Structure 1
Amino acid sequence: MDLRALRAFTEVIRQGGFSQAAEALHTTQSNVSKTVRQLEEEVGLPLLDRVGHRSHLTVAGEVVHARALKMLADRADLVRELEEMRGLRRGRLRLGLAPIGASTLFAPHFATYRARYPGIEISLVEQGSSRLQEMLREGEIDLGALLMPVPDAFDWQDARRSPVVAVVPQADHLPRDRPVPLAALADHPFILFEAGFALNAMVLDACAKAGISPRIVARSSQPDFIFALVAAGLGIGFLPRLIVEERAPPGVRVVTVTEPDMLWHMVLAWRRDGYLSDAARAWLALLRGEAT
């Protein structure tokens, strides 16, 4: 099968449509449609069920999509492995970081890495945990900063742990001198992160276990904006304590919650069956405090 056809097909699924896929691939919608039709003819089965402007995977499409992701990731691995076998001194470290905690955990290491490996280009993307998992599976990044637990398809190295705390307005009536159960926050409006952030699932799972249904009044992808909304009295937010201690502005304070499951455990993950480049291995060694 033509890998370019598989790339077009997977991009249609990822982007949610042919026009969006064409934009991502820097081509025309008609070219993408033609390529996917040719792939369907080669397979001999329809891969997409087209209903209006929406397309959904058929059963055959699900099989081809899963295999295509693996083939494209394997190709990316092959290219990187051959480059290193040729003894190239230049390369690229492709990191996927979460908007929450990335600057605190990783920024101090970039200067050291650059000094040790000046020929390595560092490529960074910031996404939520769900999207980073997809990018790892598709071979688009070498390492991704994920929250535990991670799928069995990944190996990982520990990065940092921090309890998740509630951030409330300074004048809020909640106790200042002792932890409180999550149920004590049930009458407060919640401010969460955008969909795709693993921290959301952690908070909502803890709420379900505590028997409460939170009223969500706002979402954001930026911790600083969540702090601002909390300070303005819109509701309460939830962030790792280490982020709050570093970045919380005046007008908010921390309330510790007693739920043991609300632990922010960040790791650096990579595909278990994938090729891990020397550049990625050097980054992992740096974070472990090892000289290379």
Structure 2
Amino acid sequence: MEFRTLRAFVEVVRQGGFSQAAKTVFTTQSTVSKAVKQLEDEVGVALLERIGHRSVMTAAGEIVYARGVRLLADRADLLAELAEVRGLKRGVLRLGLPPVGSATLFAPLFAIYRQRYPGIDIDLDEHGSLDLEEKLRAGSIDFAGLQLPLAEDFEGQPVRSEPLVALLSSNHALAQRSAVSLEVLGDIPFIVFDDGFSLHRRLMRLARARGLDPVIAAQSSQVDFMVELVAAGLGVTFLPRTIAAHHAHPMVRRIAFEEPELNWSVAMAWRRGAYLSAAAAAWLDLVREIHSGAASSDVSV
């Protein structure tokens, strides 16, 4: 059943005849008559009884008219909703962000996006990188904030790259150094993120590549807690430079690394070849607008 023929029939009933219906739908009386005949042929029953110059609905016609009015109204509503989605007046953006660094990197983007598109709902999912990668592959989120390099089935827009720094208690013998190597810290217990975080896995790979087998004093997903453990002299932890600066502690020293490969590079990632809704495409446009100069090799704060 075509909406064209259904609308022709409904307008004939509404307008009281074929000639007036033709004016309403901007076509000829002959075209309207053919459309109603096509609809009658399709449903297999007469919908209108022609009595002189008048057309009166049959019992079947009354059923089709009542249903047809609702169908045409639902179609109009559907088209209006789709127009709102395309016009970014409504919709949903599904974001997956890691707990580490999101406030620094993505809160400003949130503010701009909400200001531009107040009708878009943001569905935020905060997890470690392993969970975010699974959700991104499954299509349950549109984007995820992930560390570079990305898996082959993802594409990404680089957002930030900066060095890691070591955090030691200010009472530690190494605390007055301006820079250290990972090997020098190898005998100190490590305070690290949970193993669901890519920063954990990256740090452990780098340590083992240098022949280190560090003792893990604690694992956590809370930066403040990790910094407090360092202040108490429990061990050393490792944070991106900007995040470490935001969690400054009077009893903790931040020390640069001598190795340039000890860095933290984050991208906004999406599934390669995935369909991006209008809301998602607008988010990606904003990320590119703000971070178009970012590259995975950049070191900037």
Q: What TM-score does the superposition give when structure 1 sets the normalisation length?
A: 0.68
Equivalent residue number for residue 165 of structure 1: 165
Q: What secondary structure does 1:269 align onto?
A: strand
Query: SS at the partner of 1:183?
Result: coil
Q: Does the 8 A contact of 2:195 with 2:201 survive in 1? A: no
How many Å separate the matches in 2 of 1:212 and 1:144? 31
Q: Counterparts of 1:186 and 1:257 in 2: how far apart (Å)? A: 13
Asked whether 1:259 is paired with 2:259, we answer: yes
% identical aligned pairs? 47
Cα distance, 1:84 vs. partner?
Answer: 11
| CA deviation after TM superposition for structure 1 residue 133, in Å | 0.5
Q: CA deviation at 1:186?
A: 1.4
Q: Is the 8 A contact 1:202 1:262 kept in 2?
A: no
- Residue 101 in 1 paired to residue 110 in 2? no
| Cα deviation, residue 238, structure 1 | 0.8
Superposed CA deviations along residues 132-156 of structure 1, whole A, max 9, x for unmatched, are 0000000111000000111010110
Q: 1:85 to 1:147 in 2, by over 3 A?
A: farther
Match of 2:246 in 1: 246
Deviations 1:11-55 (A, max 9, x none): xxxxxxxxxxxxxxxxxxxxxxxxxxxxxxxxxxxxxxxxxxxxx
Q: By how many angstroms is 1:127 displaced?
A: 0.7
What do residues 91-119 of structure 1 show as CA deviations (whole Å, max 9, x unaligned)?
A: 11111001110000111221221111011
Counterparts of 1:105 and 1:83, CA distance in 2 = 37
Amino acid at match of 1:127: H
Label 1:85 to 1:137 Cα distance change in 2 as closer, same or farther (>3 A).
Answer: farther
Taking a change above 3 Å as real, the CA distance of residues 85 and 265 of structure 1, as seen in their structure-2 partners, is: farther
Deviates more, 1:258-267 or 1:149-158: 258-267
Aligned equivalents of 1:159, 1:239: Cα separation in 2: 17
Structural mapping, 1:226-245, within 5 Å: 226-245=226-245
Residue of structure 2 in register with 1:222 after alignment: 222
Task: Give the alignment of 1:120-135 within 5 angstroms.
Answer: 120-135=120-135
1:156 equivalent in alignment to 2:152: no
Greater displacement, 142-151 / 244-253: 244-253
For the 8 Å contact 1:193–1:221, the answer to whether it is kept is: yes
Superposed displacement of residue 85, structure 1: 9.2
Partner of 2:91: 91
Whether contact under 8 Å (2:136, 2:142) holds in the other structure is yes
**Alignment-mate amino acid for residue 237 of structure 1:** T
Counting only pairs closer than 5 Å after superposition, residues 42-57 of structure 1 correspond to structure 2 as none
Aligned residues: 209
User: How many angstroms apart in 2 are the aligned matches of 1:85 and 1:153?
Assistant: 32
Normalising by structure 2, what TM-score? 0.66
Cα distance change on mapping 1:120 and 1:213 into 2, 3 Å: same
Following TM superposition, where does structure 1 have runs of at least 4 consecutive aligned residues deviating by more than 4 angstroms? Answer: 82-85
Report the RMSD for the aligned CA atoms in angstroms: 1.9
Report the AA paired with residue 268 of structure 2.
L
Name the residue aligned to 1:5: none
Contact 2:169 2:175 in 1 (8 A): no
Partner of 2:28: none
Q: Does structure 1 conserve the Cα–Cα contact (< 8 Å) formed by 2:167 and 2:239?
A: yes
- The 8 Å contact of residues 206 and 261 in structure 1, kept in 2 or not, is answered as no
CA contact (8 A) 1:156 1:267 kept: yes
Structure 1 residue 247 displacement after superposition: 1.8
When residues 181 and 120 of structure 1 are mapped into structure 2, their CA distance, relative to the original with a 3 A threshold, is same
Where structure 1 has 5 or more consecutive residues not aligned to the other structure, the ranges are 1-81
Equivalent position amino acid for 1:271 in 2:
R
Aligned-partner residue type, residue 126 of structure 2? E
The amino acid across from 1:166 in the alignment is A
Q: What is residue 207 of structure 1 aligned with on the other side?
A: 207
Q: Supply the AA of the counterpart residue of 1:236.
A: V
Aligned partner letter, 2:215 = R
Name the amino acid aligned to 2:241: R
- Kindly indicate whether the alpha-carbon contact (under 8 Å) linking 1:162 and 1:240 is maintained by their aligned counterparts in 2: yes
Match of 1:188 in 2: 188
Contact 2:227–2:252 (CA<8 Å) still a contact in 1? yes
CA distance in 2, matches of 1:126, 1:152: 23
